[in-house]
Each structure stands twice: as C-alpha cells, then as structure tokens.
Structure 1
Amino acid sequence: MENRKNLCAMIPSDLHARVREEQEQLALKLNEYVEMIIKEHFEKGEKMMASGTRTLAFQVSEELFGRIKAHLKLTGQSQKDFVIGLIEQALAAAAALPEKEAEEPGEPAGEAEADSE
C-alpha cells in the first residue's frame, strides 16, 4: 500500500460548504476529493510551464460540471483528454464540411430544377 500522510487545514466556513457540496455531487470520499483537487493543482502548474501550449478556460453550470465529473469517473478519462477529444471531433467535422460544399455549390441538388417548372 502507498505510504500516506494526513493533511489538515482550517478554511472559511463558506469555502468548506462549497467543498463539501461539490464532493457530494461527485460521490467521492473526502480524501479522494481533496487528493483530486491537489493533483489537478500541481498538474496544472506543470502543464503551464510546457512550451508551445496555451490555456483554454471556461465556466459551466454546476449541473453540467457534475455530469461531466461523473462521466469522467466512469470512463477513467481525464478532464483535459475529454475536452480535447470533443474539440478535435468538432474540428474534424467542420473541416469535412467545406469539401462537401465545394462539390455541391449553391442550392441543394433538385431545388433549381423544381423552381424552373
């Protein structure tokens, strides 16, 4: 078993309430939740130092955030990999659109003939 240490800290009660609420939404034990937050913090710092990368940040509703975290827990996928995968899928789909439009410029096939009748 991995060697573990206890970490205890006093925090403001409003922040404590927010932590407990999110921890319950994610259905994690408190130690799992705190470990996740600390790992995300340190991983973010390491990734920010990587050259040739940019940060993309946005806010989502609490409900959507909870759904995403539940999905990530089920799949074992990281939040970063999940979001990057969605972006890459959307960009690939968008890149395929101009090819189709170049083959069929203007109105969809059949409409021009129907108008001339």
Structure 2
Amino acid sequence: MEKKKNLCAMIPETLHRKVRDEQEKQELTLSQYVENVLKEHFERGGKAMDGKIRTLAFQISEELFGKIKEHLKKTGLSQKDFVINLIEHALEDEETAEAEGEPEAEGEPEAE
C-alpha cells in the first residue's frame, strides 16, 4: 500500500457542509471521500467538466444494493469506481475474446 500523507485546507462553511453531507451519504470516511474526489479530478486530466463526461444511471433491487454497499465497505471503493471497473473488465474480456476469434456469448447482440 502506498504511503499516505496528511492534507489540510480551509474551505468555506457552506462547501464544508456539502462535503460532509455527501461523504456521509456515501458512507465513507472523510479521508476516503477526499481521496475519491481528488482521483476523479485527476482522472479527468485536472480539468473541469467539459461536456465529455456522460452519466450512466440505473435502478437495482434493494437486496442487490445492500450487497454492493457491503462490498464497498470492505474494499473502500466508491460506487462509481466499482461500476466503472466492472464495465472496463467486461469490455476488455470481450476485446480479448474477439482477438482470439472466440464466438460471441449467447444473448449478446451482434456488432453492426
């Protein structure tokens, strides 16, 4: 695990309140929340939202949601990182299968 360093900054009270509310909603420690926010910022190249980011939203059962939350607590991942990792792995697996000439799995639409 990478060595950690402390980061302290004064911010306006209204922003502090928003940060703490969101952090609690995500059920993360403040350190985990701030780390996720900073990682997301730098993954975008350190730039503000420029319209090249898209939102993916869907509904799931309460039971599945609970299982995911438990997994996130254990791993320290955010919901976003968890879902993005799943999608990236599935796409990589598909690309690998296509490169090796494997037939598509049943139920998957054919590429046009």
Q: Whose helix fraction is larger, Structure 1's or Structure 2's?
A: 1
- TM-score, normalising length from structure 2? 0.49
- TM-score, normalising length from structure 1? 0.47
Q: Which has the larger radius of gyration?
A: 1
